[in-house]
A = this chain, B = another copy of it.
């Protein structure tokens, strides 16, 4: 693995792809990898983009990549498929190819991630993949998610700029409100702006933004784009740069550089793995579940006993 890491630090894309696979599939490999590469991370600018299927998001991301490349920025794209644990991973296969408009351009590195496991696990795996891309030296990392759910909210926490993409007449706005997406967008893009109703959608967003409960000095911006023709995309990228300057000037950018929820997740995950596998084992844990089912012990006392038996006495 150390050989692989050295190659990644030297900019080797094949090594990066291998390393992300290892990091994604094995928690021990993830720990070892991030421990080694972490000191080389923190330089990439992370953009999160979310939106329902049908808003033309993959075309928009392709255009974003093209413009960042024109501006001599190297780009990594992480496409997170936030569909269910049962169907996870199937949706993105074809979409990924759309990003590969220049397969010979080493300045573009695209990776899709299926959302296996529980919620926190998805965002930790995405974060770890972004660390690898960061260590690879990408200037910009775009994390693309499908839909408007909890995964999007978690990924918004790790993105410096969160973009919400909508399209005219899709009724997305109501969905977005319901899911809390209106609260987290730094920039809103109405794609397919050449279609009927684009201005109405812009107005909808304007109106909805007045209901935001999270107040900040940054006023969310709304851009109209037509990703197919490329129209408006450069202005939208300028908007991202503007938000980046805002974060840097107000020193807010550091707050985004690591999310405390993820550290908590890692601590708790370590405890879980310890209980289930390493020291105590599944049988030990199953014995407690059985005693709970038989009403010999209640779940809260059981959880405290487990921690005591693990060496945590002050519970």
A: residues with CB less than 8 A from B are 30-31, 34-35, 38-39, 41-42, 83-87, 118-119, 149-150, 153, 177-180, 183, 213, 254-255, 257-258, 260, 262-264, 266-272, 274-276, 278-279, 285-286, 288-289, 292-293, 295, 298-304, 306-307, 310-315
The 8 Å CB contact of A275, one of B149, B213, B267, is: B267
When C-beta atoms are compared, the residue in chain B nearest to A154 turns out to be: B118
Q: B263–A271 contact, CB under 8 A?
A: no
A-B contact pairs, 20 of them (CB 8 A): A35-B298, A35-B300, A39-B298, A42-B293, A86-B213, A257-B292, A257-B293, A260-B286, A260-B289, A263-B288, A263-B289, A263-B302, A263-B306, A266-B299, A266-B302, A267-B272, A268-B271, A268-B272, A274-B315, A279-B314
Q: How far is the CB of A176 from chain B (nearest CB, A)?
A: 10
The 8 Å CB contact of A86, one of B31, B183, B278, is: B183
Q: B312–A262 contact, CB under 8 A?
A: no
Q: Identify whether the interface residues of A are mostly helix, strand, loop, or mixed.
A: helix
Q: How far is the CB of A133 from chain B (nearest CB, A)?
A: 16
Q: B260–A299 contact, CB under 8 A?
A: no
When C-beta atoms are compared, the residue in chain B nearest to A32 turns out to be: B300
When C-beta atoms are compared, the residue in chain B nearest to A275 turns out to be: B267
Chain B residues whose CB sits within 8 angstroms of the CB of A295 once the complex forms: 38-39, 41-42
**How many copies, total?**
2
Given contacts A307-B271, A312-B310, A178 and B87 within 8 Å (CB-CB): yes
When C-beta atoms are compared, the residue in chain B nearest to A265 turns out to be: B303
Q: A31–B313 contact, CB under 8 A?
A: no
Chain B residues whose CB sits within 8 angstroms of the CB of A301 once the complex forms: 35
Q: B87–A300 contact, CB under 8 A?
A: no
In the complex, A86 Cα to B85 Cα: how many Å? 24
Q: A285–B260 contact, CB under 8 A?
A: yes
In the complex, A31 Cα to B302 Cα: how many Å? 11
Q: B300–A266 contact, CB under 8 A?
A: yes
Chain B residues whose CB sits within 8 angstroms of the CB of A286 once the complex forms: 260
Given contacts A39-B295, A293-B258, A295-B38, A87 and B177 within 8 Å (CB-CB): yes
Q: What 14 new A-B contacts, CB under 8 Å, besides A84-B179, A119-B119, A271-B307? A: A34-B298, A34-B300, A35-B298, A38-B298, A41-B295, A42-B293, A84-B178, A84-B180, A86-B213, A87-B180, A149-B149, A263-B306, A264-B285, A311-B314
